[in-house]
């Protein structure tokens, strides 16, 4: 024993403890199970890769998968839904215009089921309420996240959380996207790529042109103060996070720190006026309004938007007033009665690029038009259009811009979408 070192004694002791624990577990009826090691290097090959599982990305992925394409979502966060769930803006709109519904499809399916499962109330779309936000739909953000995952699973969409792209390479057959997550390095080969990151991050990595002003609209940090409440019911309170920038992890960190600091300050101020006030709810991160936009094959200007321009390749409707938060004030412009703006397919396709699309607030547009296009119902409609175009491009072995427009419209119609210029 004198020749046995201290480390050896510790190892023998540890082994004895482990054996004793195993024997005790067997006596109690438990069976020890060894977890299979998970490799940190993963490879996938799919038809359609959607980067970003937010408002537009969820709908794009479900549509592509329902149309028969092998589909995958890579999402940097912990859940699907983006602005509506992690951001907490759980009152999506606007699905109707001038007494008729103008946006439907998969996004509407999710919203409607969220309300029904939560025993909520739907607005009456046959009546155009003023102000416009009264026709937005109150949903339970927690239910929406669950339903989004369920619908992805049912459609066959593979989900990878906590991962983000670090390199995008064009290949003869499509794209190779290298992703990183803690403990994971993933390489995804895909035939079609849909960027739903909100800031066209994938397009930027691929060398595409992106647009952005020096100023960005403030983000919002959502919270709830007061007496005990029912989580998931009612709108949250919010504060502005000025200069909120979603470009990278550093700028998002700065926005989140500033937002939480602002909420804490607000709480202390309110406690001086109302004793017994409590912090009841706090969203995990800032909800961003603006970042990069693409320079697309088509470009939507403010004049196009407010006039309700119908393009040759218009694929979906959009409806919201111009709503630019800038310099501590709101620059708004209401749409004239009867006007319903539309989105052309080319606004989802980065200029000079093939087999890659965007959907959501990074749509090709000027800043004022984008301030209206960025809202959730419009992003859902764009997401469904992108998912359908990508799936058809895979089927026909072409690029989304070359997909016959009639075929695209027919597919969208089959899956419940309301086409540009139409309503129900």
Q: Are residues 200 and 346 in the same domain?
A: yes
C-alpha angle with apex 411: 408 to 417, nearest 5 degrees? 100
What pLDDT does residue 154 have?
97
Task: Give the CA distances from residue 82 to residues 49, 76, 283, in Å, rounded to whole numbers and listed in that order.
Answer: 17, 10, 12
Say if residue 48 is exposed, middle or buried (CB neighbours under 10 Å; 0-12, 13-18, 19+).
buried
Q: How many helices (H) and strands (E) does the chain have?
A: 10, 18
In a domain? residue 25: no
Q: Are residues 190 and 228 in the same domain?
A: no
Q: Are residues 242 and 295 in the same domain?
A: no
Please report where in the chains the tokens 């939480």 appear, as a residue.
Answer: 260
- In tens digits, the chain (424 residues) has pLDDT values of 445 555 544 454 445 544 555 555 455 555 555 555 566 899 999 999 999 999 999 999 999 999 999 999 999 999 999 999 999 999 998 999 999 999 999 999 999 999 999 998 888 888 877 787 888 999 999 999 999 999 999 999 999 999 999 999 999 999 999 999 999 999 999 999 999 999 999 999 999 999 999 899 999 989 888 877 777 777 888 889 998 998 888 998 999 899 999 999 988 898 888 877 788 888 999 998 999 999 999 999 999 999 999 999 999 999 999 999 987 788 889 999 999 999 999 999 999 999 999 999 999 999 999 999 999 999 999 999 999 999 999 999 999 999 999 999 999 999 999 999 999 9
Pairing of strands 71-75, 158-161: parallel
Q: Are residues 262 and 370 in the same domain?
A: no
Residue 173 sits in a domain whose CATH number is 3.50.50.60
Please report where in the chains the tokens 């899956």 appear, as a residue.
Answer: 415
In a domain? residue 128: yes
Q: Tell which of 282, 299, 328 closes a domain.
A: 282
Q: Are residues 238 and 358 in the same domain?
A: no
Alpha-carbon gap, residue 147 to 378, rounded angstroms: 20
Q: Are residues 122 and 247 in the same domain?
A: no
Q: Are residues 102 and 203 in the same domain?
A: yes
Q: Are residues 267 and 399 in the same domain?
A: no
Q: Tell which of 282, 301, 318 closes a domain.
A: 282
Find the domain containing 128 and state its range. Answer: 41-214+291-414
Please report where in the chains the tokens 């050896």 appear, as a residue.
Answer: 8
What pLDDT does residue 232 have?
79
Q: Tell which of 259, 282, 305 closes a domain.
A: 282
Say if residue 75 is exposed, middle or buried (CB neighbours under 10 Å; 0-12, 13-18, 19+).
buried
Q: Are residues 410 and 342 in the same domain?
A: yes
Buried b (16+ CB within 10 A) or exposed e, 328-365: eeeeeeebeeeebbbbbbbbbbbeebbbbbbbbbbbbb
CB atoms under 10 Å from CB of 395, counted, come to: 15
148, 153, 156, 162: CA torsion to nearest 10? 70
What pLDDT does residue 35 have?
55
Summarize pLDDT for 135-181 with one digit per residue, the tens: 899 999 999 999 999 999 999 999 999 999 999 999 999 999 999 99
Q: Are residues 246 and 132 in the same domain?
A: no
Summarize pLDDT for 96-141 with one digit per residue, the tens: 999 999 999 999 999 999 999 999 888 888 887 778 788 899 999 9
Pairing of strands 278-282, 314-317: unpaired
Alpha-carbon gap, residue 377 to 366, rounded angstroms: 19
What pLDDT does residue 14 have?
47
Identify the bridge partners of residue 161 per DSSP, sorted by sequence position. Answer: 75
Task: Give the CA distances from residue 337 to residues 51, 123, 307, 340, in Å, rounded to whole numbers and listed in that order.
Answer: 37, 19, 11, 9
In a domain? residue 26: no
The domain tally of the chain equals: 2
What pLDDT does residue 26 have?
54
What pLDDT does residue 32 have?
55
Report the predicted TM-score, pTM, of the whole model to 2 decimal places.
0.87
HEC readout, 303-318: HHHHHCCCCCCEEEEC
In a domain? residue 174: yes
Alpha-carbon gap, residue 134 to 282, rounded angstroms: 24
Q: Are residues 152 and 270 in the same domain?
A: no
């Amino acid at each position: 024993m004198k020749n046995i070192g201290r480390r050896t004694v510790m190892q023998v002791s540890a082994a004895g403890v482990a054996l004793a624990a195993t024997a005790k577990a067997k006596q109690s009826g438990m069976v020890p199970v060894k977890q299979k090691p998970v490799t940190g290097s993963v490879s996938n090959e799919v038809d359609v890769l959607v980067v970003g599982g937010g408002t537009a990305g969820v709908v794009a992925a479900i549509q592509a998968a329902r149309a028969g394409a092998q589909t995958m979502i890579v999402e940097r966060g912990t859940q699907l839904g983006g602005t509506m769930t992690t951001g907490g803006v759980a009152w999506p709109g606007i699905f109707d215009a001038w007494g008729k519904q103008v946006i439907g499809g998969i996004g509407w399916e999710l919203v409607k089921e969220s309300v029904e499962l939560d025993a909520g109330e739907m607005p009456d779309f046959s009546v155009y309420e003023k102000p416009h936000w009264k026709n937005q739909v109150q949903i339970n953000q927690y239910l929406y996240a669950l339903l989004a995952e369920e619908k992805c699973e049912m459609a066959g969409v593979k989900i990878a959380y906590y991962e983000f792209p670090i390199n995008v390479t064009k290949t003869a057959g499509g794209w190779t996207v290298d992703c990183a997550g803690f403990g994971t390095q993933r390489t995804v080969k895909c035939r079609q790529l849909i960027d739903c990151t909100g800031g066209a991050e994938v397009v930027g990595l691929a060398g595409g042109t992106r647009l952005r002003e020096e100023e960005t609209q403030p983000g919002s940090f959502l919270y709830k103060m007061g007496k005990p409440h029912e989580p998931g019911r009612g709108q949250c309170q919010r504060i502005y996070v000025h200069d909120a920038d979603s470009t990278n992890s550093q700028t998002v960190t700065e926005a989140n720190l500033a937002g939480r600091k602002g909420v804490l300050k607000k709480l202390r101020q309110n406690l001086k006026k109302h004793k017994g006030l409590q912090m009841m709810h706090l969203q995990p991160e800032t909800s961003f309004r603006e970042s990069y936009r693409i320079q697309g094959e088509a470009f939507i200007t403010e004049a196009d938007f407010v006039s309700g321009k119908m393009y040759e390749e218009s694929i979906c409707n959009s409806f919201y007033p111009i709503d630019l938060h800038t310099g501590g004030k709101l620059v708004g412009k209401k749409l004239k009665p009867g006007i319903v703006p539309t989105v052309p397919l080319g606004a989802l396709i980065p200029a000079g690029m093939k087999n890659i699309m965007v959907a959501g607030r990074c749509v090709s547009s000027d800043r004022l038009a984008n301030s209206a296009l960025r809202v959730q119902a419009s992003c859902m409609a764009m997401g469904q259009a992108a998912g359908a175009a990508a799936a058809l491009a895979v089927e026909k072995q072409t690029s989304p811009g070359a997909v016959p427009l009639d075929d695209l419209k027919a597919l969208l119609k089959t899956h419940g979408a309301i086409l540009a210029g139409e309503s129900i």
